[in-house]
């Protein structure tokens, strides 16, 4: 039912607007009391008018009934006084009067139709028992009344009063009332109806004016009430179209304040994202430009010396090749970072032996470490198997170990340890390197951030390694932390759930299916 109604509404778009609904509500609430009041007032007027009419006529009929008894009209209908009274009565109320005697015979009918006929009806019979009856026929517009014609009869009775020793005989007179006949009168209610019609037409005119005023007011008020919502839409549209990027403010309703607050929060978030995107793009361009600028300088200086020796050419070409390698590294890192920015649904989760993986990474990096006499050791507390993305976790380990080698002292050491509890495996990479100053510790995961730019560049750093590492750890719902003392060394600790990720992946997949 509700769905059908919604379907119907969707066909008429404007019917779904809040403004139309408020308009409708105001029109209904504004006009219904008018209808109700009109009905109630007219009805109570009618009831009251009928009551007054009935009681007036009843009083007059009772007076006439007394006259009837006095003039012995039930036996002899020739009394001109009574006949005149009855005629006057029927013409006054545009009605008809019937006088019925105790043989249920009509002795007088002001219409002259039923005189001499016998009437046997419930009301008449009841009336002989002293019950008056009134009936209002709304449709045909008349009131019918049945009134008893009552005579007071005096009866003599003899009683004996015993007083002391003697007794006294006394006569008593009792008065009783006796129904001698019945009066039936029907009067027209045309006068009531005429007044009712007049009142009704006036009420209709008044109501029409009220409806017009209510519609106009409802149109105006509905517009006024939805105005703040239109303001919100307009303000959002301005932001969307790029004319404004400042927070919007529509304090008219609590609801608009909530909507606007939510929108402003979204706007702030988008601004932060936009700022970081812009910063990223400018950083990327800068980083990519640096090797190109070096290559251009090297090439130009060669071109400026037409007879430069071959050795110089070789030396410069080697430098150019190094810059190309660097450009390549930056691009590779950037690609890794972009991949990391994708959702966790892109993780390729398999059961991985973390001990083996760490061992492989250490083995691969040992030759580089050996060049600077750095020793890389791996200590495994237990065998760890975890459900992780092997490529990404391998990148995490190699980035940390690589940094531990890169930022180490000559002949220093790197110690990698692996442990696990029932929930996480913990990988620690400790070095005896240069350490990280306290003020830089919070920035090292930022893209392109390097504590010492020139040193990092010298040793081939891009400033992207830890950003990639952190993204990979977060994708696995893990944690990364660092403790460092400048001049002494640093320890990076990574905690990754053993199985948690698998469930997360399923959740994501389920969500995707649902969508
Ligand atoms: P990079 O490619 O420059 O190494 P990273 O994102 O891996 O970039 O690291 C960011 C910065 O953090 C590095 O430039 C370096 O200054 C600092 N850093 C990272 N690891 C270590 C470490 N083990 N010891 C000292 N400093 C480090």
Using alpha carbons, list the distances in angstroms from residue 242 to 233, 235, 238.
14, 11, 6
pLDDT at 71: 92
Nearest-CA residue for ligand 1 atom 21 is: 403
The confidence band for 344, taking pLDDT boundaries of 50, 70 and 90, is: low
**430 Cβ inside 6 Å of ligand 1:** no
For 250-285, the pLDDT digits (tens) are 899 999 999 999 999 999 999 888 888 888 888 889
pLDDT in tens, 148-164: 998 887 766 555 555 55
Q: Is 447 in the pocket of ligand 1 (CB under 6 A)?
A: no
371 vs 414: CA distance, rounded Å: 14
Q: Say how far apart CA 17 and CA 20 lie, in whole Å.
A: 5
Does residue 46 line the site of ligand 1, with CB under 6 A?
no
Per-residue model confidence as pLDDT tens digits over 14-35: 778 899 999 999 999 999 999 9
Helix runs in 71-185, H state only: 80-92, 122-128
Q: 103: helix, coil or strand?
A: coil
Q: Are 188 and 94 in contact (CB under 8 A)?
A: yes
**pLDDT value at 500 more than 90:** no
Going along 232-374, which residue ranges are E strands? 349-353
Q: For the ranges 170-179, 251-260, 484-493, which has the lowest average pLDDT?
A: 170-179
More confident residue, 467 or 165: 467
Does the pLDDT of residue 514 top 70, yes or no?
A: no
Which of 436, 438, 469 has most ligand 1 atoms within 8 Å of its beta carbon, as the pocket-test mutant?
A: 436
- SS3 sequence, 328-366? HHHHHHHHHHHHHHCCHHHCCEEEEEHHHHHHHHHHHHH
Nearest residue (CA) to ligand 1, atom 13 = 450
What pLDDT score does 348 carry? 85
Residues 251, 255, 256: CA angle, nearest 5 degrees: 40
Q: Hey, what long-range contacts does 134-139 have (CB within 8 A, 24 or more apart)?
A: 134/54, 134/58, 136/50, 136/54, 136/189
Ligand 1 pocket, 407 CB below 6 A? yes
Domains annotated on the chain, with CATH: 21-200 (3.30.450.20), 245-340 (1.10.287.130), 341-513 (3.30.565.10)
Give the model's pLDDT for residue 160: 54
Q: Is the pLDDT of residue 243 over 70?
A: yes
Query: SS3 of 376, please?
Result: strand
Q: How far is Cα 453 from Cα 457, in angstroms, rounded to an integer?
A: 6
Name every residue whose Cβ is closer than 8 Å to that of residue 74 and which is 6 or more positions away in sequence.
Answer: 68, 99, 101, 102, 107, 149, 180, 181
Question: 367: CA distance to ligand 1 center in Å?
Answer: 20
Query: Cβ-count burial of 368 within 10 angstroms (0-12 exposed, 13-18 middle, 19+ buried)?
Result: middle
Q: What's the gap in Å between 491 CA and the centre of ligand 1?
A: 12
pLDDT at residue 501 tops 60: no
Does the beta carbon of 434 sit less than 6 angstroms from any atom of ligand 1?
yes
Rounded CA Rg of the chain: 55
Expressed in angstroms and rounded, the spacing between residue 139 Cα and the centre of ligand 1 is 102
434 Cα nearest atom in ligand 1? 25
Compute φ and ψ for 173, nearest 5 degrees: -115, 120
Instruction: Give the sheet arrangement for strand 413-420, strand by strand.
Output: 375-380, 413-420, 424-431, 489-497, 479-485
For 404, 456, 457, the CA distances from 460, given in Å and listed in that order, are 14, 6, 5
Nearest to 472 by CA among 364, 376, 348: 348
| Half-sphere exposure in the Cβ direction for 507 (13 Å, CA) | 7
- 459 Cβ below 6 A of ligand 1: no
Looking up tokens 């649904």, which residue turns up? Answer: 345
Atom of ligand 1 nearest to the CA of 461: 2
User: Does residue 511 have a pLDDT over 50?
Assistant: no
How far from each other are the two terminal CA atoms of the chain, in whole angstroms? 27
From the CA of 489, give the closest atom in ligand 1.
Answer: 24
pLDDT in tens, 295-336: 999 999 999 988 889 999 999 999 999 999 989 988 998 888
Q: What one-character DSSP code corresponds to residue 464?
A: -
Question: How many C-beta atoms lie closer than 10 Å to residue 256's C-beta?
Answer: 18
Q: Report which ligand 1 atom has the smallest distance to the Cα of 447.
A: 6
Closest CA to 119 of 150, 138, 136, 144: 144
124 close to ligand 1 (CB < 6 Angstrom): no
Q: What does pTM read for this prediction?
A: 0.57
Does ligand 1 lie within 6 Å of residue 412's CB atom?
no
| Ligand 1 pocket check for 489: Cβ under 6 Å | no
Query: For residue 388, what pLDDT is reported?
Result: 92
Give 438's DSSP letter.
G
Rounded to 5°, the CA angle 427-431-432 comes to 160
Q: How many angstroms separate the CA atoms of 433 and 410, rounded?
A: 9
Q: Which 8-state DSSP code applies to residue 452?
A: S
Q: Which of 73-87, 273-287, 400-414, 495-509 has the lowest average pLDDT?
A: 495-509
Residue 114 has pLDDT above 50, yes or no: yes
Cβ of residue 463 lying under 6 Å from some atom of ligand 1: yes
- Which residue lies with its CA nearest to atom 23 of ligand 1? 404
Q: Which residue has the higher pLDDT, 173 or 433?
A: 433
In tens, the pLDDT along 204-235 reads: 999 999 999 999 999 999 999 999 999 999 99
Helices and strands in the chain, H and E counts = 12, 12
What integer pLDDT is reported at residue 503 of this predicted model? Answer: 45
DSSP type of residue 409: P
Which residue in the block uniquely carries the two structure tokens 């009928």? 50
Dihedral over alpha carbons 210, 212, 214, 220 (to 10 degrees): -150
Q: Is 248 in the pocket of ligand 1 (CB under 6 A)?
A: no
- Dihedral sign for Cα 345, 349, 354, 356, please: negative
What gap in Å lies between CA 5 and CA 140, rounded to an integer? Answer: 44
Nearest CA to ligand 1 atom 7: 465
Share of the chain above pLDDT 70, in %: 91
pLDDT of residue 460: 72
Measured from the CB, is residue 449 less than 6 Å from ligand 1? yes
Cα(116)–Cα(148) distance, integer angstroms: 19
Is ligand 1 within 6 A of the CB of residue 490? yes
Residue 444 alpha carbon to ligand 1 centre in Å: 7
Do strands 349-353 and 385-389 pair parallel, antiparallel, or not at all (unpaired)?
antiparallel
Is the pLDDT at 169 greater than 80, yes or no? no
Q: Are 181 and 99 in contact (CB under 8 A)?
A: yes
């Amino acid at each position: 039912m509700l769905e059908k109604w919604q379907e119907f509404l969707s066909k008429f778009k404007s019917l779904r607007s809040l403004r139309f609904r408020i308009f409708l509500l105001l029109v209904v609430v504004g006009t219904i009391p008018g209808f109700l009041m009109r009905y109630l007032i007219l009805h109570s007027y009618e009831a009251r008018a009928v009551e007054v009419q009935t009681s007036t006529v009843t009083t007059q009929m009772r007076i006439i009934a007394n006259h009837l008894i006095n003039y012995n009209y039930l036996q002899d209908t020739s009394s001109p006084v009574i006949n005149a009274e009855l005629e006057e009565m029927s013409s006054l109320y545009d009605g008809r009067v019937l006088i019925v005697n105790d043989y249920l015979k009509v002795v007088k009918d002001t219409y002259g139709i039923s005189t001499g006929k016998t009437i046997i009806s419930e009301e008449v019979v009841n009336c002989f028992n002293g019950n008056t009856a009134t009936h209002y026929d709304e449709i045909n517009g008349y009131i019918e009344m049945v009134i008893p014609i009552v005579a007071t009869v005096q009866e003599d009775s003899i009683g004996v009063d015993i007083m002391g020793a003697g007794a006294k005989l006394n006569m008593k007179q009792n008065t009783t009332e006796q129904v001698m006949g019945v009066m039936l009168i029907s009067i027209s209610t045309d006068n009531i109806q005429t007044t009712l019609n007049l009142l009704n037409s006036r009420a209709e005119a008044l109501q029409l004016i009220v409806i017009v005023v209510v519609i106009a007011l409802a149109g105006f008020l509905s517009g006024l009430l939805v105005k703040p919502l239109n303001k919100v839409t307009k303000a959002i549209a301005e932001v969307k179209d790029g004319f404004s990027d400042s927070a919007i403010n529509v304090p008219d309703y609590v609801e608009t304040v909530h909507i606007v607050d939510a929108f402003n929060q979204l706007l702030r978030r988008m601004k932060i994202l936009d700022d970081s995107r812009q910063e990223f793009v400018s950083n990327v361009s800068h980083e990519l430009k640096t090797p190109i600028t070096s290559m251009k300088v090297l090439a130009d200086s060669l071109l400026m010396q037409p007879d430069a020796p071959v050795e110089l050419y070789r030396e410069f070409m080697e430098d150019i090749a190094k810059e190309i390698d660097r450009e390549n590294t930056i691009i590779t890192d950037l690609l890794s970072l972009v991949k990391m920015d994708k959702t966790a649904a892109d993780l390729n989760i398999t059961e991985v032996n973390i001990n083996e993986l760490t061992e492989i990474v250490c083995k691969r990096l040992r030759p580089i470490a050996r060049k600077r006499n750095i020793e890389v050791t791996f200590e495994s507390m237990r065998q760890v198997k975890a459900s992780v993305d092997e490529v990404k976790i391998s990148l995490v380990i190699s980035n940390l170990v690589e940094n531990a080698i890169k930022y180490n002292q000559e002949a220093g050491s790197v110690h990698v340890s692996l442990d696990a509890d029932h929930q996480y495996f913990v990988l620690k990479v400790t070095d005896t390197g240069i350490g990280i100053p306290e003020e830089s510790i919070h920035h090292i995961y930022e893209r392109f951030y390097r504590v010492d730019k020139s040193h990092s560049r010298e040793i081939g750093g891009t400033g992207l390694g830890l950003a990639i590492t952190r993204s990979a750890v977060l994708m696995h719902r893990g944690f990364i932390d660092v403790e460092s003392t400048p001049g002494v060394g640093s320890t990076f600790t990574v905690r990754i759930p053993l199985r948690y990720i698998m469930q997360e992946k399923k959740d994501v997949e389920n969500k995707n299916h649902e969508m």
